[in-house]
Amino acid sequence: MSVLVTERSRVIVQGVGREGRFHAAQMRKYGTKVVAGVKPGAGGTSIDDLPIYDTVHDAVEATDANASIIFVPAAAAADAILEALDQELELVVAITEWIPVHDMLRVASVLARTSTTLVGPNCPGVISPGKGKVGILPIDSFSSGSVGFVSRSGTLTYEIADLLSREGFGQSTCIGIGGDPIIGLPMPKAVQLLNEDPDTRALVIVGEIGGTDEEDTAAYLRAFGTKPAVAFIAGLSAPPGKRMGHAGAIVTGGQGTAASKVEAFRTAGIPVATRPSEIPQLLREQLS
């Protein structure tokens, strides 16, 4: 069983520009059912043999799509997300970076009243190796297996998935949740999905400084965790007051420090790697 992305996922691409076209082709090559594109004013045409519609409503009505991936530029991305939410799609993945926080506040207020799972923005997306991907994740880094993987960092997602794959730890589903202050699927909820997935045997959690998602995730696993888990926190060596690349990686009011996150996971009985290369061995020890 996979989480969020399955063989029945039918995906539309909102924003069929250079990036959207490239990644639509990559998703199709991997076997994901990409069924349409949305580009206002271009309805009735096709791009790379993909039918194009003016609106998400038209695309869903014509193709029975149940998921969307968004490459719309930041200034219009929130409206694109809201358009997808209006159709009650099962999954929406927003790749777009630099969406203004006040725009995401509008999205969050609507998202709370829908059944849609929004991953992102500013994320690499979701992959269930061997079944499909909705995102920009490089497929060579991933392999099929039973390790569920949640990460706030896109680049570390690729690096650590590659390490796991080389060590024989294939993945059930990998979720890159994004590093912005306001995202659709927070880390605790993403981890819960994998914790409740019967085909996920163990968890790898990659966090970073800023916010309290990692502390909240550790508290959830301490109370409800049923599977071995290993964590890694990016930013352990960051000087006090240092901002990292993600907008959400900001330490404020003494909260969100690497030390507080490490302590939270260790208190929950979850070992924390000091560098990514340690993760496979810690996972092996947890599973032994």
- Sequence-ordered list of residues with C-beta below 8 angstroms from that of 90, at least 6 positions apart, any chain: 9, 66, 67, 115, 116, 117
Report the distance separating Cα 288 and Cα 284, nearest Å.
Answer: 6
102 included as an active-site residue: no
CB-CB contact of 203 with 195 (8 Å): yes
- Choice among 23, 57, 102, 246 that is catalytic: 246
Helix (H) or strand (E) holding 125: strand 125-128
Residues of the chain by 3-state class (helix, strand, coil), percent to 5: 35, 25, 40
Helix (H) or strand (E) holding 266: helix 258-267
H helices, E strands: number in the chain: 9, 14
Report the distance separating Cα 226 and Cα 88, nearest Å.
Answer: 31
- SS3 (DSSP) at 35: strand
| 6: its two tokens | 């399955």
Report the distance separating Cα 72 and Cα 63, nearest Å.
Answer: 21
Q: b or e along 130-141 (b: 16 or more beta carbons within 10 Å of the residue's beta carbon)? A: bbbbbbbbeeeb
Q: Which residues are catalytic?
A: 246
